[in-house]
Structure formats: C-alpha cells, structure tokens
Structure 1
Amino acid sequence: MMIFAEFFAGVGLVREGLASDGWSCAWANDIAQDKRETYAANFGSGDFVLDDIWNIAKQPEQIPDNVFLYTASFPCTDLSVAGDRAGLAGEESGTLRALLHILAQKKQSHTQPGVVLLENVKGFLTSHKGKDIRNTVKTLNALGYTVDIIELDAVAFTPQSRPRVFVIAVDNTLAIQVMRIKDKRNILDTWWSHFHQSPQLRSAKLRDLIQTNPDLNWGLFDIPTPEKTLLRLHNIVEDIPEDSPLWWGSEKQQYLFNQMSTGHQAIIREKIHEPGDFYGTVYRRMRNGQSMAELRSDGIAGCLRTPRGGSSKQILVRAGQGNWKARLMTPREYARLQGVRDNFWMPENDNKGFFAMGDAVCVPVIQYLSRHVLKPTYEVWQHTQQTYNKQRTA
C-alpha cells in the first residue's frame, strides 16, 4: 500500500491530490485549529495531530514507521517576495528544520521514508543568495537522499498563476533505479543534456543553482512537461445573482476604477461593449507609495494569497453587454482555482475559506507529481522489495 505522512497539512489538499491516485494517509500534522476543522470535515480527524512541529520533533516515534513518503508544504512567509525574506532563519519557514530533525531521528532508527516531497514558493531557490536551498539539499544528501528540484505552475492545470518549487528527495539505493544521477567524476556526463530537455520544469535559475553546487548529490526524473489547460476564469466563476450584495455598489466600483492605470481603464471600457462576458482579476498593490488596482485580462487569476489585508484579496471583474461589475472572488472560486472538487467542505466564514485555499497547494499539480514521479517510484521500490523477499525465502 502507498502510505504517506503529511506535514504542514493545512486543509489537506496534498492529501486530496494523492488520495485520488491511490495513496493512503497514515498521519498528518498542522498547528492551525481552523485548518484542522476543515481537514477533519473532509477526511476525518483520526490521522490528524494538532501540534507545533517542533513538539513532534521531540517525539518522532508517534509518526508511523511504515511510511514511504513524507510531504511538507512548509510555510512560505519568510521565503516569499511578499515577506521579509528572512529565509529559513525566519520563525515560520524555519520550521523546515524541525522536519529535517525528524528525518535524522528516523534514519537512526532505520525507519526513514523512501521519498520526501517539499513544496514552497520560487523564492526558496534564491533565499539568502541560494544558501537556504543549498543547505537543505546538503542536509538531505547527508541523510542518504539524492535530490531533484522541479518547478511547476498551477496555470498548466487551472486558470491561476501559481509557480511553485518541489524538492524531491529519494533514498540513494532507490534513486539509482528511478533517476538520472549526476556523475561527479565525469565532466562530460550526458546528464546535462537531459536537464535541458524540460526548461519549463527546470528554469535557467535552477540550472545555475545546480551548476554552482556540483558537490551535491543531484538526480533527475525523466518526466513530461504538462500540457497547458484550456480552462479560463469563465469556467470557474460562480453564478452570482445580479442583485446579490456580493456585487459592489457604484461608489465602491468607481473607486476601484479610479485606482487603475489609464491602460487598464481602457481595457474595461473596451470590454463593456463586447457581446459576451469578459472576466478579469484585480489586485491592489502599492506602487511608488500609491495604492493601485492592477487588472489581469488574460482569463487567468493571479496567485491566490491568504487574506492578511484587504489588498491580498483577489477581486473579480465582469464586463460586457453594456456594463461592468466588480466583487471579491468567493471562497468556492478560490477552491476551484486550486483544482478542488465542489463537494469539498469549506468553512462558512469567508475569511477562513480564503485562508484555507490561499495557503494551500494546487490539487492537479500534486496529481501530476504522483502520476509521473511518486507512484512510479513507489512501484519500483515495491518490486525491489518483492524480489528481495523472494530471494530470502528461496
């Protein structure tokens, strides 16, 4: 059975993606009570431990030993460009160190997982001029893992721009069977030719990171580049009645319009006269000390965020057939942008719903990684174990 443990579980969107591909969650952990409530409503509370991961690190024996995969979508607060860039020295993103401590203890008891999957923002690659990602990979290497890094954007799967970095660490003995391993002794190794085959999965920035750290144990998964979805905003919007109070009044709507640049105002004026409905999204941002409303008009939503302030909430604009309207996106629309099924239980409080989805992973991205990386790796491991057991009993 494909068994995994979910660290920094949030509301369980990693589980949502893995479960659809046959994985079974044996244990999950998060520190947020609100997220636990949503998690429990959708998956039950039997596997969920509500606690600080540093406390978990003091008692790692509570994590089941028969776990093949650890997943960790650790906090991005200190790695994001929207944060203070404290990196792994920060209080929140630094909780990754607790997970690494748990892995070290599991290694001592010979119960470490075969694969570890870390997820975070692309700022993880540049935090502290690359030192944070280097130290993370170096620590994973010391724990007996070979590492690949893959960059995936949710926009390939849903109408949301959400670039993320996935660090995939595979036990060395298994890695040689499922990955292309970089040969440190051969400078003419063909490993690099395969690296260049998927620039969408591994950018020039990532290539430079690997090239400048040749002493680390790197491996590559030979996986396809995902085909981009044709879904757009009009595919995920809820049918909100025209007289709903969710739609903004004329004064508030005009204020938003006045915050836009002349170019974005021109787009609104143009779209008003179209026969069908145009949908765009707006974020408020500070530009040169002034609050600006920035319109995205390509049918793709900007990256969802947690609602720590009014500017972090994404605004939906609809224009066409002679008029235009604006409102905040709904939590259910947030969920759809994360690829979440409509019968996934959501909190009644909108802000809790925004937090649940804004601080989560895109489900189809996890499904993609499971289909092309995690599940095939498990199947190779399972076959190896079965062959070994047959030889022992022969």
Structure 2
Amino acid sequence: MAIRTETNQLDIFQLLQPLNPKSIQKKFTFVDLFAGIGGVRIPLEQLGGTCLGYSEVDKNAIQVYQQNFIKNKESDKIDLGDIQAVGKLPFTVDLMVGGVPCQPWSIAGKLKGLEDSRGKLWLDVFRLVKVNQPKAFIFENVKGLLEPRNRSSLEYIFKNFTESGYIVKYQVLNSYDFGLPQDRDRIFIVGIQDKLENCWGFTFPKPLNHKVKLYDVISGLEPYELKKAKFPPEVLYSTGKVPPSRGRFQKPDELNDFFTFADIRDGHSTIHSWDLIPTTPREKLICQTLLKNRRKKIYGSKDGNPLTFEQLQGLLPDLKVSELNQLIDKGVLKNKENKGYKFANSKISSGINGVCKIYLPHGDAVGTLTATGVRDYVATVPFKCQNPIAYKQDFIKNIYSPRNYKPLTAQDYAKLQGFPDNFQLFSNENKAKYQFGNAVSVPVVYHLAKEVLPFI
C-alpha cells in the first residue's frame, strides 16, 4: 500500500506556516490562560508574539507544555500557576487568550453553566481582564454556550467584558474552514479596548478556499481520486425525502463518506448488528420492524421504547415468541424484566463491537475530537463503491470483515488539530488523545489572531 509522501504533507502544512518574519509589522505580547498543551501559543508565536505568562493546573498538560515551550529555568518564571490565584500582573500585556473550560456548556458535560465550578472560572477571567486591561482578548468555548438555555450566561459574559471597557464580538468558527479535516465548531469571543482606534472595525476571518481530505492528514493512507455519483432522494432514503438531521458533511444527493455502527438508527451507511452476523431475511425483517416503530409516540414518550410481544405481533401478525428468542440468543435483542423487546446495542456512543464510525480515506472530515475519546476508525484502503444497493455489503466485505481499518492515534489527533510534526506528545497514548481533544485547532487561532493584531 502506498504511503502518503512528505510532499503531500508539506502541501497541507504550508497553509499553517508563519508569516514571513519580515512581513510582521509589529511584535506583541500575550498571556496564555487555561494553556493546556499550548494550542494557542503555537500560532501566536508564529505571528511574532512573546508569551509573558501562562496558567494551567493539569499536571500532565503542564508537562507537555513545558517540554515544548520552556527551554530554560529562567523562562519557568512565566508560570503563573492557578488562575484563581493570579491577580495584577507585573507587566502590561497586549493580548490575553485562553480556552476556558467548556464542560459546563457541553452536551458531554452536565450542562450546569456558571453553576459549575469550572463555569465559575469565567469570574476569574473577568477579574483578570478588568485588572490588567490587555489591549485585546480571545477566548474560546464550545458552541453549546450559544444554545437558548445558556443565553443568560452568554449575556452575563458580554456584560462583564463591556463594562470593563471592551467592544465584544463573537462567532462560531469551524476547523474544517481553516484547512483541517475535522468538523469542529467552537465559539470565539473577541474583545478590543473601546478606546483603541477603529476598535469597531474588527471582523472574523473568512473560510479558506483550501480543502483537504482525511488521506492528506492521517498517516498511512493512500491518496486517490473518486468521482462521486449523484442520486435522487428516493434512491438514497427509505422515506424518499432528505432527512432534516443530516449534517454538513452528509451531502443530500451523495453516499456518505463514513459508516455508522448502530442498531437504533438507520440510513444508507448505517451498519446494524444483524448485518454483521448470520441472520435470515425473516430475522432482518423483525429487526427493521422494531427499528422503524420504536420511536413512535404510540408506544411511549421516550426516544426509543421497548415493544411488547403483543405490540410487535400487531405489526407482524404471524410473529412467534421463538423468533424473538432466537434474536436474543444471537445478542441482537433483549427483553429486560419482560417489559418489552429492545436492541441489545442501545447506545449510539457504544457502537457495535467497540466501533462507532469508520471514515473513508477520501472523506472531508472526522467528527469533533473530544477529551472523552471517540470509538472512531478510518479505513486504510480505498473504497470506491458508488452503488447504493451494494454500498453496505461491499463495505463489510472489503473494509470491515478483513479489518482494513485502524483507530485514530494520538499523532492523528495532533495532525487533525493542526499541531506541527515536531510537537512532543505526552507519553501515554490515551492521555495524549485526551489533551488534543481538549485543545484548540491551531490554524483557526492563527487566522483569527491575524485579524485581531492590526487593532493592538
């Protein structure tokens, strides 16, 4: 199998290279709050910035940060420690930056917002901005901060920054729009001192025209051309209509670039457990009947209800209990406490056999990398099938069954976040993934900061 060449890789990362030092009109200083492993520091230093101080409390993150940025003991003096203990800084600073802990607003967390101890760290951010008056600031958080339930918190954040003397703007930026094959939405809040000239003139960066594929970034994948066929809705979807839930990287008239492993959802690229083990057409019909009806309100108010034998028999009049028991024996169904029949694989996050998604190498983007980890894989050989009828079976035959797929490694995470090749990772693979899942996408900050710098 051909391996991506260094030339391919260089073409990608040229997009992330620093400006020509001679073209940088003005040096600037910054403070790196909630520094993590330094995803914000990398692009700011590329743009000519000097870090005067950083704050981080996670010991593993500090270790990675220091091994990549702190070159001598003298530099160690810029360690500010816990943000809650930081007050008036012994220096003036141009730019204050940080990825404020996002769990209080994330669906992966408990959604407590400012009531969460991590959410209250915003109070320390307000205090530091007010006391130290940087010329500008950039703070990053999850898109969930914009949801209606968090509206009052967002207004509170803006009110505090505005009262401290800043013009404040925000926008959601996606990593894919800045040269990375990752579908990662993040809100960026930018403030510029209202006494600075033309402070209202700041605008967020526009998406880049340069797009990459997964095989451009993930190691060990072979680049290949694929002319994608177009199909009408009645061919791709059982209802004959485009589902409203389809995301940005699910073209309405094309086959998906990934396969989802789940028994409780359906689609032209959804793999079910009954697709992977020997099952009869009759057994498949029973499973599809349960799948199509389990979310109907007549069977309950949950997003997926167990159906009793009587309810299933009303849908399949000739159904026998023995048929359901056979599917229980095969591990497809379960009948817990005789409350009704449901799928044994009942959580999308668990996938099937430890696999949630397998992305195809020619795909545009993986889903958002998270600190909690994902059970996502990428196919290691080309897959060019464009026949909707044969799509799933060809995938199972050529990719899944022969195990022509691999998990995303920590090094893959690093590249999907735009970190340079010489960045030193944490020694433990899973902890390194955790750190990159928490990090910011380097090129997003790079292009955003380029728009902020003229105002400071």
TM alignment of 1:110-259, pairs within 5 A: 111-126=132-147, 128-157=149-178, 158-174=180-196, 176-180=197-201, 221-239=202-220
The one-letter code of the counterpart of 2:368 is C
Output the CA distance in 2 between the equivalents of 1:296 and 1:82: 22
Match of 1:377 in 2: 455
Match of 2:126 in 1: 100
Per-residue deviation, 1:30: 0.5
Given candidates 431, 434, 456, the residue that maps to 1:355 is 434
Per-residue deviation, 1:83: 1.7
Do the aligned partners of 2:61 and 2:435 also contact (CA within 8 Å) in 1?
yes
The one-letter code of the counterpart of 2:380 is R
Match of 1:252 in 2: none
The TM-score, its normalising length taken from structure 1, stands at 0.68
Do the aligned partners of 2:113 and 2:119 also contact (CA within 8 Å) in 1?
yes
Do the aligned partners of 1:122 and 1:164 also contact (CA within 8 Å) in 2?
yes
The TM-score, its normalising length taken from structure 2, stands at 0.59
Question: Whose relative contact order is higher, 1 or 2, with alpha carbons under 8 Å and at least 6 apart?
Answer: 2
Q: Using a 3 Å threshold, how does the CA distance of structure 1 residues 320 and 357 change in structure 2: closer, same or farther?
A: same
Match of 1:3 in 2: 29
Output the CA distance in 2 between the equivalents of 1:237 and 1:326: 12
**2:67 is aligned with 1:41:** yes
Output the CA distance in 2 between the equivalents of 1:88 and 1:127: 14
> SS of 1:179's equivalent?
helix
**2:48 is aligned with 1:22:** yes
Output the CA distance in 1 between the equivalents of 2:262 and 2:157: 46
For residues 336-357 of structure 1, give each alpha carbon's deviation from its aligned partner in whole angstroms, at most 9, with x where no partner exists: 1111111111112101210221
Structure 1 residues 23-32 or 320-329, which shifts more? 320-329
Superposition CA RMSD, Å: 2.6
> SS of 2:446's equivalent?
helix
> SS of 2:187's equivalent?
strand
> SS of 2:31's equivalent?
strand
The one-letter code of the counterpart of 2:437 is G
Per-residue deviation, 1:224: 4.8
**2:368 is aligned with 1:290:** no
Unaligned ranges ≥5, structure 1: 181-220, 241-255, 268-286, 379-394
The one-letter code of the counterpart of 1:173 is K
**2:105 is aligned with 1:83:** no
Do the aligned partners of 1:331 and 1:350 also contact (CA within 8 Å) in 2?
yes
Q: Percent identity?
A: 26
The one-letter code of the counterpart of 2:173 is L
**2:83 is aligned with 1:53:** yes
Match of 2:336 in 1: none
Instruction: Determine which structure has more spread, i.e. the larger CA radius of gyration.
Output: 2
> SS of 1:229's equivalent?
coil
Do the aligned partners of 2:53 and 2:80 also contact (CA within 8 Å) in 1?
no
Do the aligned partners of 1:85 and 1:127 also contact (CA within 8 Å) in 2?
no
The one-letter code of the counterpart of 1:150 is Q
Per-residue deviation, 1:258: 7.2
Per-residue deviation, 1:313: 4.3
Do the aligned partners of 2:141 and 2:187 also contact (CA within 8 Å) in 1?
yes
For residues 254-307 of structure 1, give each alpha carbon's deviation from its aligned partner in whole angstroms, at most 9, with x where no partner exists: xx967685622579xxxxxxxxxxxxxxxxxxx844344345553311101013
Per-residue deviation, 1:65: 2.3
Do the aligned partners of 1:264 and 1:295 also contact (CA within 8 Å) in 2?
no
> SS of 1:46's equivalent?
helix
For residues 159-188 of structure 1, give each alpha carbon's deviation from its aligned partner in whole angstroms, at most 9, with x where no partner exists: 0011111111111111x51324xxxxxxxx
Match of 2:7 in 1: none
Per-residue deviation, 1:42: 0.6
Q: Using a 3 Å threshold, how does the CA distance of structure 1 residues 261 and 377 change in structure 2: closer, same or farther?
A: same
Match of 1:323 in 2: 398
The one-letter code of the counterpart of 1:140 is F
> SS of 1:3's equivalent?
strand
The one-letter code of the counterpart of 1:153 is N
Per-residue deviation, 1:96: 1.3
Per-residue deviation, 1:229: 2.9
> SS of 2:198's equivalent?
helix
TM alignment of 1:327-342, pairs within 5 A: 327-342=406-421
> SS of 1:146's equivalent?
strand
> SS of 1:4's equivalent?
strand
Do the aligned partners of 1:80 and 1:123 also contact (CA within 8 Å) in 2?
yes
Output the CA distance in 1 between the equivalents of 2:357 and 2:408: 15
Match of 2:365 in 1: 300
The one-letter code of the counterpart of 1:323 is N
Output the CA distance in 2 between the equivalents of 1:33 and 1:223: 33
The one-letter code of the counterpart of 1:53 is I
Per-residue deviation, 1:236: 1.2
